[in-house]
Structure 1
């Protein structure tokens, strides 16, 4: 059972410099074939200031804090992905720096066919360091069986 004291808990804000290399490595890992993620000239021809960030790139930020799971006392053997939702507010490109922070929004105990479980809602919000513009909210649901 996840301690309810973590509702509202905010992890330390982090910063990530968005580089062409990070974007191309991520795009390659997800087998993205669109050339705007690899070729700066093509990205600029499409109206971007540089190589744009792929839409699912931000999902890696939520758990980039190495102690996320240990802080909450989550046992990986009892963990399921409950889904995710991404809200986009502005586009980031190579050369931008994102400041992001993860917060535990809610923890609810439920009873299911497999027994009791905790449903954890985690929100990671990111903004552009230079402009202050909000870039994304990533809402992730986790299921942890008792």
Structure 2
């Protein structure tokens, strides 16, 4: 079966333009290659939230983090997501994901028992191997059914 998500996330000028329009942003650096060049940039800049789609461009043969950690999905919550940019993302690049560190901690809940908190970092490098972006995803597994 064909891999519908080949490794790498191509950063395409047209998709940046569409995304910027969808969020109502008319900043020329998101739309106009000439304006970007005049500003000393190598290409159109991707808005910061553009890279939220990176999860869809990770290889489909990579095990999902929940399986890797052995989580019981009945009790898992999305605890947050943070993006740490080394520099802007530009049209013409291809970002590739690499699983980074996973930090596990625990916290006592008030009604649901002990919570396990997993902070998972993914590093995104461009086609030249340069680190461009780190994404931190937080998953929380509660201790079970909430007690009344």
The equivalent of 1:110 in structure 2 is 107
| Partner in structure 1 of residue 64 of structure 2 | 68
Partners in 1 of 2:12 and 2:52 — Cα distance?
A: 16
Shift in Å, 1:18: 0.9
Over the aligned positions, Cα root-mean-square deviation in angstroms equals 2.7
- Say if 2:8 and 2:57, in contact at 8 Å, map to a contact too: no
Name structure 2 gaps, 5 residues minimum. 1-5
Q: Is the aligned partner of 1:123 residue 2:116?
A: no
1:58-97 equivalent positions in 2, closer than 5 A: 58-62=51-55, 64-65=57-58, 68=64, 71-72=67-68, 73=71, 75=73, 78-97=75-94
Contact preservation (8 Å) 2:46, 2:88 = yes
Is the Cα contact below 8 Å between 2:76 and 2:141 reproduced in 1? yes
Q: Give the structure-2-normalised TM-score.
A: 0.70
Larger Rg, first or second structure (1 or 2): 2
1:98 to 95, 100, 107: 95
Who is 1:18 aligned against? 11
Q: 1:79 Cα deviation (Å)?
A: 4.0
How many aligned residue pairs are there? Answer: 132
Q: Distance in 2 between matches of 1:56 and 1:134?
A: 18
**Long gaps (5+) in structure 1:** 1-12
TM-score by length of 1: 0.71
Alpha-carbon distance in structure 2 between the residues aligned to 1:114 and 1:22:
45
